[in-house]
Amino acid sequence: MWTSTRFTERIGCRYPIVQGPMGGGASTPELVAAVSNAGGFGSLGAYHLEPAEILRAAAEIRRLTDKPFALNLWIPRAQEDPGSQVDATRALARLQPYRDELGLPPLAEPPAPGVQDFERQFEAVLQARPAVFSFIFGLLPAPMAAAARKQGILLIGTATTVEEAEALEASGVDLVCASGFEAGGHRGSFLRPAEQSLTGTLPLIPQVVSAVRVPVLAAGGIADGRGVAAALVLGADAAQIGTAFLMCRESGANTLHRAALADRERARRTALTRAFTGRLARVLANRFTEEMAQPPSELLPYPLQNAITREIRLAAARAGRDDLLGLYGGQGAPLASPRPAGDLVAALAAETGAVLERFCG
């Protein structure tokens, strides 16, 4: 049976279908629980949450489901890849026309970015004790990995290259999520700059599957049963899907974001940009991504670029202006449509079974 993989056996869920963690509030407890209740595996992106909020979110998920789920954090990076770094004055000047349009006063200097207290967040994860702790942007320090293991928490690390998958396996993770170039959201690259870590899902998955022994989750551009079936045929033990779940009614995406993703013609055009946060991310192309791609490219590294674009994004959302918003989404968006998350899991499972039946009998 296609549903019986090393992933479903280890996790104890019905389908090898993972709802990818989506930080910043996009993966809500309702979304995570709906996916896990439907037989998939839900994940909550928690990097933006305070430790107490992580505990509250985990309790809320448990109120809504007794099925396993994952909590996910971003590993803090000591040295941020600067991309095309310039001084703050020039980066602020580059953004001023957008601030003028939105009626925002000039900024004299970048606002202080919020500080992520990873250690306390991780303590909260240990306390919440999810079935899985998944992470992105690096390796989990060995003492933390040991502490998670002691609690019986499985570890999933995210790779964008074969080398990253090998490094994750050597660090002792239980599973590797291999994320192809098509994926929505940030590139989680940590060994090389993200621009040099852009292998597509189709060639990445079989290479990672051959390079590591641990089960592999395939992510990037998968949005229907044909994609899930392809991931399994390539040797993955599960498919991880973000964008298609972002379109579900339980997600935290705002109205403008949902409308853009559901507009098939619009969703056909995505862009990789550092302009919103300073880290490379795949979003739907819009005026901001197009104009910021034109020289001069004056961006600050994460988290400063995130801090200097924040007011613009918030004001644009208030004004109903999606031309200046970061509309995170992957290349598979036109394959999906808005629906309840449980229905999406059921449809993915039915389609995957039908496709595999047709080809494999």
Ligand X SMILES: Cc1cc2nc3c(=O)[nH]c(=O)nc-3n(C[C@H](O)[C@H](O)[C@H](O)COP(=O)(O)O)c2cc1C
> Which of 326, 316, 240, 341 shows the shortest CA–CA distance to 281?
326
In the list 54, 136, 247, 356, the residue contacting ligand X (rule: CB under 6 A) is 136
For residue 20, state whether it binds ligand X (rule: CB under 6 A): yes
Query: Minimum CB separation from ligand X for residue 37, in Å?
Result: 19
For residue 303, state whether it binds ligand X (rule: CB under 6 A): no
Cα–Cα distance for residue pair 82/71, rounded to 1 Å: 28
Burial profile 85-108: b = 16 or more Cβ within 10 angstroms, e = fewer: bbebeebbebbeebbeebeeeebe
SS3 for 84?
Answer: coil
Q: Which residues pair with 176 in a beta bridge?
A: 157, 216
Q: Which residues pair with 159 in a beta bridge?
A: 178
Residue 218 has φ and ψ, to the nearest 5°, of -95, 125
Question: Applying CB under 6 A, what is the total number of residues that bind ligand X?
Answer: 28
Pick the piece of the chain touching ligand X (CB under 6 A) from 29-37, 61-69, 181-189, 348-356. 181-189
In the list 29, 220, 225, 278, the residue contacting ligand X (rule: CB under 6 A) is 220
For residue 23, state whether it binds ligand X (rule: CB under 6 A): yes
Asked, as a colleague might, if the bond just before 113 is cis with ω within 30 of 0, I would say: no
For residue 157, state whether it binds ligand X (rule: CB under 6 A): no
The residue type found at 86 is V
In the list 11, 17, 22, 355, the residue contacting ligand X (rule: CB under 6 A) is 22
Query: Minimum CB separation from ligand X for residue 134, in Å?
Result: 6
SS3 for 350?
Answer: helix
Query: Minimum CB separation from ligand X for residue 42, in Å?
Result: 11
Pick the piece of the chain touching ligand X (CB under 6 A) from 3-11, 81-89, 239-247, 287-295. 239-247
Burial profile 110-130: b = 16 or more Cβ within 10 angstroms, e = fewer: beebeebebeebbbbbbebeb
In the list 11, 13, 26, 145, the residue contacting ligand X (rule: CB under 6 A) is 26
Nearer to ligand X, 16 or 221 (CB): 221
Query: Minimum CB separation from ligand X for residue 100, in Å?
Result: 28
Nearer to ligand X, 31 or 355 (CB): 31
User: Which residue of the chain is nearest ligand X when measured via CB?
Assistant: 242
| Site map 72..91 versus ligand X, x via CB under 6 A | x-------------------
CB atoms within 10 A of CB 10: 17
| Helix pair angle (225-233, 201-211), 10° resolution | 30
For residue 328, state whether it binds ligand X (rule: CB under 6 A): yes
Residues engaged in binding ligand X (CB under 6 A): 20-23, 26, 45, 47, 72, 134, 136, 158, 179, 182-185, 219-222, 240-243, 246, 328, 330, 332
